[in-house]
Amino acid sequence: MFRVRKSIKRFREDPAWTYQKSARDYLATFEQDGYPFSLGPRGNIIRNLFQGTVQGRPASLFHQMARTPGGASVGSDETWVDYSVAVVALRRALPATAFTSGRFVRETKSGELPAIPVSAGPAQDVPGGGPLDAVRRQSIDVDFAVLIDTKPVHRLTREAGIGWRIDGDRIIGWGRLHKPFDEVQTIAETLIAIVDAFPERAWQWPARTG
């Protein structure tokens, strides 16, 4: 926790970043039934929102508290689960697609919680087999997901141990726990590397964003 507080102080002192302690208005820009917000079916809170740029791309970094049913103690009916989240702007809107590291099987209840908002359109699992199953892939446009379903994208997702999804003209990445903000920035850098690994044809793909 000391490292987290220290990183917040350091980022707040950096003029390249704007800071909000809480960000209810920013939270409202996301549909609550897509990852990582659907992981808090009883509500979400954003804390420590930093907005600036990462590698020249508009980015937001924040901590999320997701309220879920059940608790650690007998008689408790809810608990809070912590995530670190990065959001990076894309050059254009792309079909809603989610790649989720196998590390999050427990959090996502093996897919019971929706990865992609209903408003984006009906989502399907992307078929596949072998070692690629370490990452669950879903999309409203399976052909698009297959196009970007490359070895570099899988490797980056698995090695970082994150989940991510395309939300219109932005990509959202999330990892477990409230991490120091240099580590949250690393999530943003991983998202940029993932996007840079998309085939160029992805950027000419017909948009289906709901």
- Interval 170-196: pLDDT, tens: 999 999 999 999 999 999 999 999 999
- Interval 133-156: pLDDT, tens: 688 899 999 999 999 999 999 999
Give the number of other CB atoms < 10 A from CB of residue 163.
28
Question: Can you read off the two tokens belonging to residue 147?
Answer: 């196009």
CA quadruple 50, 164, 146, 167: dihedral, nearest 10: -50
User: For the chain, what percent of residues have pLDDT higher than 90?
Assistant: 79
Q: Is the Cα torsion angle 192, 152, 121, 162 positive or negative in sign?
A: negative
Calculate the CA 52 to chain-centre distance: 17
Q: In whole angstroms, what is the distance from residue 8 CA to residue 120 CA?
A: 34
* Biggest alpha carbon–alpha carbon distance for the chain: 53
pLDDT at 208 over 70: no
Q: In whole angstroms, what is the distance from residue 135 CA to residue 55 CA?
A: 26
- Interval 60-110: pLDDT, tens: 999 999 999 876 555 567 899 999 999 999 999 999 999 999 888 778 876
3-state secondary structure at position 192: helix
